[in-house]
Amino acid sequence: MTDQDQAAKPAPDGDNPLFQDWQGAFGVPPFGRTKPDHFMPAFERGFADHDAEIAAIAGEAAEPTFANTIEVMERAGRLLDRVSSVFGVLSGAHTNDALLAIERELSPRRARHWNGILMNAALFQRVVALFVARERLGLTAEQSRVLERYHTMFVRAGAGLDPVKKKRLAEINERLAALGTAFSQNVLADEQSYTLVLETEEELAGLPDFLRSAARATAAERGLTGKHVITLSRSSVEPFLQFSARRDLREKVFRAWIARGENGGQTDNRANIAEMVVLRAERAKLLGYATFAHYRLDDAMAKTPEAVRGLLDRVWKPARARALADRDAMQALAQEEGGNFRFAAWDWRYYAEKLRKIRCDLDEAAVKPYLQLHHIIDAAFYTAYKLFGLSFERRKDIQGWHPDVQAFEVNGADGSHRGLFFGDYFARSSKRSGAWMTTLRDQEKLVGDIRPLVVNVMNFNKAPDGQPTLLSFDDARTLFHEFGHALHALLSDVTYPSVACTSVLTDWVELPSQLYEHWLEQPDVLRRFAIHYRDGHSMPEDFLKRLLAARTFNQGFATVEYVASALVDLDIHTLAEAKDFDVTAFEKDALDRIGMPAEIVMRHRPTHFAHVFSGGGYASAYYSYMWSEVLDADAFAAFEETGDIFDGGTAKKLHDHVYAAGGSRDPEALYTAFRGRLPTPDALLKRRGLADVPA
């Protein structure tokens, strides 16, 4: 029976594990028994149950109280939450044709469901009544924040609009949901359909052993035993661009990589983007905002497009100057080697590796043997122990959604159970590209002491059996980044689920993750965990010093490709009118205006910019990583100022006011409670090595 056949025949309720209590260890979903045809019946019941619960709240005869309105909403929709969490993990990390079909059907249906709740006039009036009287209700600080967030959520969803505008807004939301799903599935299809097959030694020229090994394993998975395959996964493409001596093949794979979603045919995303931009602008106007960016940023720390642009512009100028200087140096290097060509985007990583060897006496091929995946996981766990007293025990008895998934029980310093952590580290064709954190269950105390089930997903190249998976330093940093998000969920200590874990403003959510990256770069951590996979020796001190000294190498490039993406995102969403929007032409014009170097391409071109167009969580908000970097650079300085990167007092404040607090208070108040003040961009520029670069 095919996946499509399974999806077409709903399972009897009694056989559907999504309707049953999950009695396994720690209430982990029964992935081994869950099939595609279980989902739609479970979603339909989840929608119906939630609708009935909401109708009861809205129709409550008693005057609204926090308990009979807000708390009951917090308890509602539990089946829907459970089913959505399981489906979300599978559709992102281990999908198939049946799940993709369900996702297409589900996305507008889910939008319709939430439209009905968030535009419910009677329910909104109860929330408004509580919000107006909030100072007299005797609420705790967390309850006040929860009430404020509910009021904001309803207002921003259009609950206060007239019926005609509500109807149009609901139509827009449903269509945007469908377009976002189509966008992400198109990118996935382009990634799945492309392989660069390498068959001869000439085609493998320049590739180090670790990359050859990974490419050989990837080929074997695709039935091409004895050959080598490069895919469009970032962990495959980037090292190939970094080491391949074949300029023609670098160009070929680079062009395929940056053209995802822009290849014509059914997977082309340009029409989807054009419609999304028009609909987002219309939605903003219905809600009383000049542009979508003004709407989106009104509920963020940044508040306005002008504030975002001010930060990005301040960083752009020195970054561009540094990148242009590096470009000129690499062009000269290519000419010295006899390269009679104009330096191009597919040359950057290759010659940057050569330039790093010259300037820093360091190359990636020498670094990678010290960064074994299992040791970097241990390093992330060790850091969590030193900072917060957490311990991690591998649980091989807990089944995940794929055999590669690893489960760990997490305990606190007092031995108490804090949750489960799942690591899904390897690239595969059933997984979307990138790296992310999500949860199967959030922490809360409203219905008991509920401990979280937290997930990290990566896309590292898996080594052949019997060999360790080796990471680049950027890969290792990504692991620490996503684990920082995981800690935000594991350490969450709030009562209400709506403000638990990572349910915070977008430009605050990246602080715990980006801050955690700093510990990877500390000599004390690297001495312990950077161990050569062949001889078992720790990284030599001289090598360690050179590695850390090279941290700011190529930061002009890295900053330019990121900031360009953030600026184009902002420019797209500050359009008041977007009729006949041509995203390719717009991208070119926007980059020309800022003087984008021709040899650098945006980190995420619009047609595969999943942050912005696959659901839109970061639409107008891709800047958030840099906004949070202002915070994280200053926050780590708090540890450095004590002379101890694991200082107990600073770690406790970090725990209490950042990792454990979730969204229970305003982010500025939380940061000020941790640091005593708000930061400036100075620490960010210093960390990136751009503080003294003339603009």
Q: Point out the residues that are catalytic.
A: 482
Question: Checking DSSP bridges between strand 228-230 and strand 196-198, what pairing results, if any?
Answer: antiparallel
Token pair of 279, please?
């609909």
Q: How far apart (Å, rounded) are the C-alpha atoms in residues 586 and 28?
A: 46
Residues 6+ apart with CB under 8 A from 270: 261, 262, 582, 583, 584, 607
Identify which of 278, 473, 235 has the alpha carbon closest to the alpha carbon of residue 372.
473
C-alpha distances in angstroms, 27 versus 65, 419, 435, 519? 32, 11, 25, 32
How many Å is the maximal CA-CA distance in the chain?
A: 83
The secondary structure of residue 657, as a DSSP letter, is I
C-alpha distances in angstroms, 215 versus 97, 419, 430? 25, 36, 17
Helix (H) / strand (E) element for 182: namely: helix 163-193
Q: How far apart (Å, rounded) are the C-alpha atoms in residues 688 and 463?
A: 32
CA triple 5-11-12, angle to 5 deg: 155
The secondary structure of residue 444, as a DSSP letter, is B
DSSP assignment string, 206-266: T--HHHHHHHHHHHHHTT-TTSEEE-SSHHHHHHHHHH---HHHHHHHHHHHHTTT-SSGG
Strand partners, 283: none
**Residue at token pair 């041509």:** 582
Asked whether the beta carbons of 213 and 464 are under 8 A apart, the reply is yes
